[in-house]
A = this chain, B = another copy of it.
Amino acid sequence: MAQNRHSLKDVAKRADVSVATVSRYLNGFLELPDGTRGRIDRAVADLDYRPNPHARRLSLGRSDTFALIIPDIANPFFSRLAAAMEACAAERGKMVTLHATMNRSDREIAALENASQNLVDGLVFITNHMPPPEVAERINRFSRAIVLDEDVKDARAPRVLCDNEQGGFLAGQVLYEAGHRNVAYIGGREDLFSTSARLEGLRRGMQGIAPLRSYVDDHAAASGRELAQRFLKDCDGETALFVGSDELTVGVLEVFRAQGVRVPEDISLVSFDNVRSLHLFAPAITAVEQPVDIMGRRAIEMLLDGDWDDPKFLETTELLPVRLIERQSVSAPNPITRKA
């Protein structure tokens, strides 16, 4: 990497003072008369001195780094979150490291272990499955951790979530108003907080009608395909589908297209996230939009500015508002092609 790095000692020697003086001055803990200050400033400039961050971190016991533990970086929802977090962290002089888990508990534990060894200044944890208790335990060992997007049982850490209940409600409402009375939900497992919130909202939006459901552990197009197949087999008069993420929607649409199931003629569909270019799909897909960028920024802001001494703060849950983007994938149920 860089070649002729100079150390504090070099600066001190050149400015004819002690290293302690230089260190304290550079860190703003020492006022100096003009003469001394000038000599130090000049020495720093002449030598192009930059403190060695490793030494600094060893001494200070911190890392100036946040660890982002994320199911899948290639998934647009998470990559948008990551982008927002990186931007916010960079503005505040912090770095971020990336750790993909693919929602596997062993990877989550390994990533947490890694982050803890590295003495990160903060942790943002995202998962899409119900991790074993060990994961929450490990999260709780961090003095600064944020749980993002999906609640984690027994984690003592502030949460930044979207308003899943409201999202479900908006989807239910638009479907109910279009005339649907029999809808199915495809998404995360029922033991997830987000899932039960969405289902609750959906039911409320549907005036109390509960949906047929299919679940998976992850949000990936492949899972969407699998669930779509299962749905087409199990389907009993459903005229609409509420899908838990754009990734799943992609898989679902692939299967529908392959099997000649038309949206919205045969079945209406509402997606969740709105991070893919759903407006260009055939048909354009109606979706509940998550405030992705705001969620990412909030997570980092809380890490930096939260009142971490207040035990109450750890109980915080910040619920960010979602909104419905209406497009062309919802229509009135079609009695002719409606399945038995």
Contact = CB atoms under 8 A, between A and B. Distances in A.
B74 A1 contact: no
Contacts of A1: 115-116, 119-120, 141-143
A87 B99 CA distance: 8
Contacts of A55: 58
Nearest to A115: B1
Interface in A282-315: 282-284
A68 to B, nearest CB: 8
Interface in A185-243: 221
Contacts of A73: 79, 82-83, 86
B53 A118 contact: yes
Contacts of A281: 277, 280-282
9 contacts: A1-B116, A2-B141, A65-B97, A74-B80, A76-B76, A95-B99, A98-B98, A276-B277, A281-B282
Interface of A: 1-3, 50, 52-55, 57-58, 61, 63, 65, 72-74, 76, 79-80, 82-84, 86-87, 90, 95-100, 114-120, 141-143, 221, 250, 253-254, 257, 276-277, 279-284
Given A2-B116, A79-B79, A254-B279, 20 more contacts: A1-B115, A1-B141, A3-B141, A53-B117, A54-B58, A54-B63, A54-B119, A73-B79, A73-B82, A79-B82, A86-B100, A87-B100, A95-B118, A96-B97, A97-B98, A221-B277, A250-B277, A257-B280, A280-B282, A282-B283
